[in-house]
Amino acid sequence: MQRERAADGTYVEEVTLDTVLSVFEQADIPVLTASEVAEKLDCSRPSAYNKLETLTENGELHKKKVGARAVVYIRLSKPTRSAAPPEE
């Protein structure tokens, strides 16, 4: 099966950053490995890894080493702000 190409001949991106983030949003616990993300998106592990690294560099995900070579990626929930300022 051949990959889809854009009009200029470049390959069309199949796995987007938003798609990777959606995997974390759908997870019960937003702590995943590159292999888990790859499995959910039906893509290669290197493809998932590259997107996860980009999201980490952009501050969307956090990365934690959990073994000699194992790494997990963590999506922390965004803090919610209350409408009223804190009372002093």
Given this model, what pLDDT does residue 77 score?
72
pLDDT score of 81 more than 50: no
Band of the pLDDT at 71, cuts 50, 70, 90? very high
**4-50 pLDDT tens trace:** 777 887 766 678 999 999 999 999 999 999 999 999 999 999 999 99
Q: Which fold, 17-74?
A: Arc Repressor Mutant, subunit A (1.10.10)
Which residue, 76, 77, 71, 60, is CA-closest to 34?
71
**Domain coordinates in residue numbering, the chain:** 17-74
Residues whose CB is less than 8 angstroms from the CB of residue 60 and which lie 6 or more positions away in sequence, other chains included: 17, 21, 75
Map residue 21 onto helix, strand or coil: helix
| pLDDT tens, residue by residue, 43-70 | 999 999 999 999 999 999 999 999 898 9
